[in-house]
Amino acid sequence: MLAAASKETSIKYTTVLPKVCVDEMKRLADKKIVPSVSYGIRLAIENFITAQKQQEYADSLKDATSDDAFIKRTMDAQNDFAIVDEEGVGSW
């Protein structure tokens, strides 16, 4: 979730954006879909960063599947909890 912009939590950063993107963000702000152009840009950046972090995590999990030590630790943990998973079955 986007934190409220304040002097303590934000910085000014100048960038060049495609006119069509700025025009579209202005249209969204005019229609009150986003509170302001600045907010819409911050939201777009936040969403991009979130998506990239999710991709990084997915890539690291994919890499882990070829790591024998990771597989062993995972299987050991799964086996350690297998009895807990079975405990109480049918006794509710």
Structure tokens at 48: 């991009």
Q: Which domain holds residue 28?
A: 19-83
In-domain check, residue 53:
yes
In-domain check, residue 12:
no
In-domain check, residue 88:
no
Number of domains in the chain: 1
Tell me what percent of the residues of the chain surpass a pLDDT of 70: 84
Please tell me the predicted confidence (pLDDT) of residue 70: 86
In-domain check, residue 49:
yes
Closest by CA to 38, choosing from 52, 28, 53, 48, is 28
The answer to pTM > 0.85 is no
DSSP states of 23-85: HHHHHHHHTTSSS-HHHHHHHHHHHHHHHHHHHHHHHHHHHHTT-HHHHHHHHHHHHHHHHHH
pLDDT at 30 over 90: yes
Rounded CA gap, 85 and 54, in Å? 29
In-domain check, residue 28:
yes
In-domain check, residue 90:
no
Q: Name the band, by pLDDT with cuts 50, 70 and 90, for residue 89.
A: low
In-domain check, residue 66:
yes
